[in-house]
């Protein structure tokens, strides 16, 4: 296919050339009615590019095929049979994917290190989750993806399961054996969905971890804003094979998605695909070289422990994304929360994820030499100044099995049923009625329907005292918890 074409961007240019006067949304009239004070901050181009697809970039019948052509080009670029754009982020895309495979009361295998959007899908849909627990690294206090034999055991125990949802890469860059899991799923003739939110870059360089479509996954969801070049909320579905009906997927997405899709998202998805096809290998070569230099610099700093290829092993990761820089700061006597806050406040360097043990920085093709220098200098300064920082309260890091809490109710039933707010100590032995997700990265420690245990309560309570943020809980301070009413 001709990847110099960018159908959405071309349609936007043509819209501007024609000078259409619109008597429908958006009401700002391509910026003519926008507050000048807003325009001064975000620029007129944002408003000028905000055009509806229907009776805007295309006619009401979409007879020009603007969006369908752009999606066909995306599918060709990444080796999928079909691709679908979403303008509501992968938080919506993963929900659409899950309800395309399983329905209310039906079982779906789900890797328990899933993002809160996956748990939200279970709540909304009434799907019965069969948790496939990741492998817990006690030294790093980190969860690695489940392995093919874990999936096989779950399918043998639950032959009525409709499919599997796997997360790869994780927020810290560890990747699953997607091909091995796909092979097991297909032996049982069920589809594999991969939540590959952090993997938009993977199809465009052979030295990066395996891309889900190349590993025979049936449906892959990517967040292009995370590791690609499109704006926030840009997401794509990639589909192949016959185990998931594309018409069902479109219908499920239509059920949840917006009827006012953002042309800004469509346009940047379209342009990013062209950029990656034409320049992606070279750009990612540069990003990996830069990440390699940063890794070498971090390795040379006393007190910072860089996660590297040592985690690629049985019961660990199948692969590691070299662009994910994961740094354990515990030897400095501080938490990842402190490190991230200090870097932002004192060095104007913002890292992506932090927890009690570590912080994570992602290197992309957008970073330049000055960015590399800023990060290395900031980390060097962090090492020098860490001894002067206040010692954090102890976080009660429980052993891995303590996180494998028992599910005793459907997440939907627990979430929507009668509930009460009880003191946190009284929640032990009760059934959680809410999500409790330290953010970022947003993986729930507790999901609705799970039985609360002492270790998890102590971890959450001490974690909040040390800087953990839990924005989705009714009581973010963790003095109380919402549980199913007796």
> How would DSSP label each residue in 376-414?
HHHHHHHHHHGGGSPPPPPP----GGGG-PPB-S-HHHH
Which CATH number covers residue 198? 3.40.640.10
Both 266 and 285 in a single domain? no
The Cβ of residue 59 has, within 10 Å, a number of other Cβ atoms equal to: 12
Assign residue 298 the CATH number of its domain. 3.90.1150.150
Helix ranges, 260-368 (H): 263-299, 336-347
Look up the CATH number of the domain holding residue 460: 3.90.100.10
89 and 234 housed in the same domain: yes
The one-character DSSP state at 436 is: B
Cβ contact 422:437 at 8 Å:
no
Q: Two tokens at 23?
A: 């008597």
The residue out of 228, 254, 274 marking a domain boundary is 274
Q: Name the nearest CA neighbour of 137 among 186, 174, 101.
A: 174
60 has pLDDT over 90: no
Q: Report pLDDT for 173.
A: 97
R_g of the chain, CA atoms, integer Å: 23
Question: What confidence tier does 259 reach under pLDDT thresholds 50, 70, 90?
Answer: confident
Average pLDDT over residues 198-202: 97
What is the C-alpha separation between 207 and 109, in angstroms, rounded? 30
Higher pLDDT among residues 129 and 403, named by residue: 129
Contact predicate 214/238, CB 8 Å: no
Residues 426-438 have a mean pLDDT of: 97
Summary mean pLDDT of the chain: 96
Same domain, 249 and 311: no
In a domain, 452, yes or no: yes
Confidence of residue 445 (pLDDT cuts 50, 70, 90): very high
DSSP state of 145: P
The residue among 274, 291, 316 that closes a domain is 274
Q: Is the confidence at residue 30, as pLDDT, over 90?
A: yes
Residues 6+ apart with CB under 8 A from 130: 107, 108, 109, 110, 154, 157, 158, 161
Task: Identify whether 151 is part of a domain.
Answer: yes
- Same domain for 228 and 112: yes
Alpha-carbon distances of 363 from 95, 145, 439, rounded to whole Å: 28, 22, 20
CA gap 303, 379 in Å, rounded = 10
Same domain? For 460 and 424 the reply is yes
Residue 269 belongs to what domain range?
65-274
Say if residues 120 and 90 touch (Cβ distance below 8 Å). no
Looking at the structure, tell me whether residues 269 and 146 fall in a common domain. Answer: yes
261 contacts: CB under 8 Å, gap ≥ 6: 53, 85, 87
pLDDT of 37 higher than 90:
yes
Classify residue 24: in a domain, yes or no.
Answer: no
Instruction: Quickly state the pLDDT bin for 153 (edges 50, 70, 90).
Output: very high
Which residues have CB under 8 Å from 55's CB, separation 6+? Answer: 22, 24
Between CA 374 and CA 195 the distance in angstroms is: 32
The mean pLDDT of 158-162, rounded to a whole number, is 98
Question: By three-state DSSP, how is residue 154 classified?
Answer: helix
Task: To the nearest 10°, report the CA torsion of 121, 123, 127, 128.
Answer: 120
Identify whether residues 357 and 310 lie together within a single domain: yes
**DSSP single-letter state for residue 168:** -
Q: Are residues 384 and 439 in the same domain?
A: no
Domain boundary residue among 274, 308, 338?
Answer: 274
Number of domains in the chain: 3
**Cα–Cα distance list, 101 to 159, 182, 249, 343 (Å):** 15, 15, 9, 43
Q: Do 267 and 349 sit in the same domain of this protein?
A: no
Do 203 and 272 contact (CB within 8 A), yes or no?
Answer: no
Q: In which order are the strands placed within the sheet that holds 358-362?
A: 305-306, 324-328, 358-362, 353-354
In a domain, 33, yes or no: no
The answer as to whether 326 is a domain residue is yes
Q: Examine the domain organization and report whether 73 and 168 are in the same domain.
A: yes
Cα–Cα distance between 11 and 442 in angstroms, integer?
37
User: pLDDT class for 142, splitting at 50, 70, 90?
Assistant: very high
pLDDT at position 440: 85
Query: According to the model, what pLDDT value does residue 239 have?
Result: 98
State residue 311's pLDDT score. 97
Residue 441: predicted pLDDT: 86
Whether residue 40 lies inside any domain: the answer is: no
Q: How far is CA 420 from the centre of its chain?
A: 31
pLDDT tens digits, one per residue of 276-319: 999 999 999 999 999 999 999 999 999 999 999 999 999 999 99
CB under 8 Å to 339, separation ≥6 — which residues? 327, 329, 332, 351, 354, 359, 382
Residue 453 lies in a domain: yes
Residue carrying structure tokens 């929900």:
95
- Which pLDDT score is estimated for 406? 94
Cβ atoms 184, 178 nearer than 8 A: no
Q: Mean pLDDT throughout 417-421?
A: 98
| pLDDT of the residue at 117 | 95
Tokens linked to 8: 């959405």
pLDDT at 113: 93
Report how far residue 146's alpha carbon sits from residue 2's, in angstroms, rounded to the nearest whole number. Answer: 39
What three-state secondary structure class fits 245? Answer: coil
Q: Is residue 46 part of a domain?
A: no
pLDDT bin (cut points 50, 70, 90) of residue 336 is very high
Same domain, 331 and 444: no
CB atoms within 10 A of CB 231: 17
- DSSP bridge pairs for 131: 110
How many whole angstroms separate alpha carbon 481 and alpha carbon 87? 34
CA-CA distance, 204 to 195, in Å (whole number)? 18
In a shared domain, residues 171 and 144:
yes
Give me the percent of the chain exceeding a pLDDT of 90. 95
């Amino acid at each position: 296919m001709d990847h110099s074409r960018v159908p959405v961007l071309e349609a936007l240019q043509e819209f501007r050339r024609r000078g259409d006067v619109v008597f429908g949304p958006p009401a700002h009239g391509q910026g003519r009615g926008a507050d000048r004070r807003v325009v001064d901050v975000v620029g007129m181009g944002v408003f000028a590019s905000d055009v509806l697809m229907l009776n805007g970039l295309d006619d009401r019948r979409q007879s020009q095929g603007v969006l369908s052509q752009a999606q066909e080009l995306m599918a060709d670029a990444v080796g999928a049979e079909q691709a679908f754009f979403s303008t509501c982020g992968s938080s919506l895309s993963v929900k659409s994917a899950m309800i395309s495979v399983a329905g209310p009361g039906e079982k779906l295998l789900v890797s328990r290190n899933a993002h809160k959007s996956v748990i939200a899908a279970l709540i909304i849909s009434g799907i019965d989750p069969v948790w496939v627990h990741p492998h817990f690294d006690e030294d790093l206090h980190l969860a690695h993806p489940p392995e093919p034999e874990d999936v096989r055991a779950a399918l043998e125990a639950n032959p009525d399961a409709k499919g599997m949802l796997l997360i790869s890469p994780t927020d810290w860059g560890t990747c699953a054996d997607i091909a091995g899991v796909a092979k097991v799923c297909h032996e049982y003739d069920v589809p594999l969905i991969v939540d590959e939110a952090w993997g938009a870059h993977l199809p465009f360089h052979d030295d990066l971890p395996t891309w889900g479509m190349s590993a025979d996954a049936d449906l892959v969801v990517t967040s292009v804003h995370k590791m690609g070049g499109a704006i926030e909320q840009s997401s794509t579905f990639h589909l192949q094979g016959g185990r998931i009906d594309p018409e069902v997927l479109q219908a499920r997405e239509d059920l949840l998605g917006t009827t006012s899709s953002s042309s800004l998202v469509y346009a940047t998805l379209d342009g990013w695909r062209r950029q990656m096809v034409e320049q992606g290998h070279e750009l990612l070569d540069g990003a990996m070289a830069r990440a390699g230099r940063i890794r070498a610099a971090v390795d040379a700093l006393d007190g910072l422990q860089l996660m590297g290829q040592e985690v690629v092993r049985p019961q660990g990761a199948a692969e590691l994304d070299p662009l994910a820089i994961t740094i354990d700061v515990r030897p400095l006597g501080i938490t990842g929360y402190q490190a991230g806050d200090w870097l932002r406040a004192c060095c104007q360097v913002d890292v992506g994820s932090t927890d009690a043990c570590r912080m994570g920085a992602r290197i992309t093709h957008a970073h330049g030499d000055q960015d590399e220098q800023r990060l290395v200098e900031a980390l060097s300064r962090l090492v020098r100044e860490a001894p002067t920082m206040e010692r954090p309260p102890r976080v009660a890091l429980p052993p891995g099995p303590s996180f494998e809490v028992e599910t005793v109710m459907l997440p939907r039933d627990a979430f929507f049923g009668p509930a009460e707010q009880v003191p946190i100590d009284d929640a032990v032995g009760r059934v959680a009625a809410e999500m409790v997700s330290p953010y970022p990265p947003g993986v729930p420690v507790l999901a609705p329907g799970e039985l609360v245990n002492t270790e998890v309560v102590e971890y959450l309570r001490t974690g909040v005292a040390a800087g953990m943020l839990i924005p989705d809980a009714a009581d973010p301070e963790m003095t109380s918890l919402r549980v199913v009413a007796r």
